[in-house]
Amino acid sequence: MAIYVDDARIHWRGGQWCHMLADSLEELHMFARLLGVHRRWFHRTASYPHYDITVEMRDRAIDQGALLSDKATIILCARVLKTELIAQSLHAMKFRNTSALNLSNRQSDLFRSQEVIA
Residues 78-93: pLDDT tens digits? 999 999 988 888 866 6
pTM: 0.73
CA atoms within 13 A on the CB side of 81: 30
Q: In sequence order, what are the beta bridge partners of 21?
A: 4
Per-residue model confidence as pLDDT tens digits over 8-46: 999 988 999 999 999 999 999 999 999 999 899 899 888
pLDDT of 113 higher than 80: no
pLDDT at 117 (0 to 100): 54
Going 41 to 24 to 29 to 22, the CA torsion angle's sign is: negative
State the virtual CA torsion across 20, 21, 22, 26 in degrees, nearest 10: 90
